[in-house]
Structure 1
Amino acid sequence: MTVPVIGVLALQGDVREHVAALTGVGAQARPVRRPEELDAVDGLVIPGGESTTISKLTDIFELREPIDKRIAAGLPVYGSCAGMIMLAAEVLDGRPDQRGFAGIEMTVRRNAFGRQVDSFEAPVALAGVDGGPFHAVFIRAPWVERVGAGVDVLGEVTDGPAAGRIVAVRQGNLVATSFHPELTGDLRLHRYFVDLVRAA
């Protein structure tokens, strides 16, 4: 596979920014809103946004079962911020009617770093991503409180009151970060995911 086709779940959130970043690292990126569009992709990005809204729209657009099936079949998926929440097996501080895809065996705390006014930027060293620490943008971000045995921790906060909190993980073909690489201009994480899609 020379040019992988990667969809961006285009129900709400940073869709355009992810499409631009994926295109910038050599993928063919396209928005996904319908099951037939999902059928045509080699990988999927679930963008940042509002996780409860994405959850509701996933049902409205009849994408929940198709995405569940593709994940179970090994589809590579990357979730950023709200996308991390959507991939988590367990969500703390979520709404009772909120449902995700439960692809990664982890417990995530929604809005763990605080409200919009508490958004911040910090360097995060990412395992498997060369070139030094990643300049991470956290906006009403979750963090990971627990990971299962099959989950690799790719990155943690190194400084400040949240030092040691897990903010990047991988389980098989699924990757999640609590920050927004699509807002930084640093394409290394998107390149990491595109390489994963090619390998899959």
Structure 2
Amino acid sequence: MAEVTVGVLALQGDVREHLAALTGAGATAVAVRRPEELERVDGLVVPGGESTTISKLAEAFDLLDPIRKRIGAGLPVYGSCAGMIMLATEVLDGRPDQQSFGGIEMTVRRNAFGRQVDSFEAPVELAGVPGPSFHAVFIRAPWVERVADGVQVLGRVTEGPGAGRIVAVRQGNVVATAFHPELTGDRRLHRWFVDLVRGATDGPGQHRFAE
């Protein structure tokens, strides 16, 4: 299999957990804090954390526009929880000055499932990812309220709070979940994303759009 380098946006959030999960999934995992580090990766993970803080730090570290441009050029990107918010084209209940990277034409409601004390776990089946349902961990999680025609719904909450809500989506090479697979020992989603990166990579810095 082709070797790929997948970066984790290392400004705030559960960076270490994603680095470990990606390494376990067969990728070379690196932290990304600078534009020059972004240029060297074949794929990128935007971790869970605090979306408003990630937004401010991405601007302060001059990463907002470079990430947007690489997404537009076909870079495979996966966002979990706050990462889902950062990949949305519209965010509800966010700060007025909050910015996102975009990449998925969807409307996401921030902290839709409630506060920290309302965190919960529930099974989620993901389209295209083999095996049983994911044991999904939701922490101050968003949900997706609207998707455009070109967005594929990969999964919904099947029981418990917010049953039926969209919590996993994909548009081209960009994927997002409202839950945290990096906090469990289940590496299927990270392996699936690493395979997506391999399939979308034509060479260093060269990516094609997924069908």
Smaller-chain TM-score bracket: over 0.9
Which range is displaced more, 158-167 or 107-116?
A: 158-167
Which residue of structure 1 aligns with residue 121 of structure 2?
A: 121
Distance 1:84 1:68 in 2: 14
Partner of 1:160: 160
Structure 1 residue ranges without an equivalent (≥5): none
Consecutive aligned runs of 4 or more in structure 1 exceeding 3 Å deviation: none
Q: For the residues of structure 2 that align with 1:36 and 1:99, how far apart are their CA atoms?
A: 21
In the other structure, the counterpart of 1:179 is 179
Matches within 5 A, 1:19-168: 19-168=19-168
Say if 2:122 and 2:160, in contact at 8 Å, map to a contact too.
no
Return the offset for 1:160.
2.6
Deviation at 1:102, TM superposition (A): 1.6
Q: 1:126-176 CA distances to partner (integer Å, 9 max, x unpaired)? A: 001111100000000000000000000000011134111000000000000
Deviation at 1:119, TM superposition (A): 0.2
Encode CA deviations 1:79-134: one digit per residue, 9 max, x unaligned: 00000000001000000010001210000000000000000001001001111100
Q: Partners of 2:34 and 2:118 in 1: how far apart?
A: 35
Whole-Å separation in 2 of the counterparts to 1:160 and 1:39 = 41
Question: Secondary structure of 2:66's partner?
Answer: helix
Deviations 1:52-84 (CA, angstroms, capped at 9, x unpaired): 000000010000111011000000000000000
Contact conserved, 2:91 with 2:110, CA < 8 A, in 1? Answer: yes
CA–CA distance in 2 between the matches of 1:102 and 1:45?
14
What is the letter of the counterpart of residue 108 of structure 1?
V
Q: Given residue 136 of structure 1, which amino acid in structure 2 is its aligned partner?
A: A
Is there any run of 5+ residues in structure 2 with no aligned partner, and where? 201-211
AA in 1 matched with 2:75: L
Note if contact 2:78-2:175 (Cα within 8 Å) is conserved in structure 1.
Answer: yes
RMSD of Structure 2 on Structure 1 (CA)? 0.7
CA distance in 1, matches of 2:158, 2:81: 18
Do the aligned residues in 1 keep the contact of 2:51 with 2:82 (CA within 8 Å)?
yes
TM-score normalised by L of structure 1: 0.99
TM-score by length of 2: 0.94
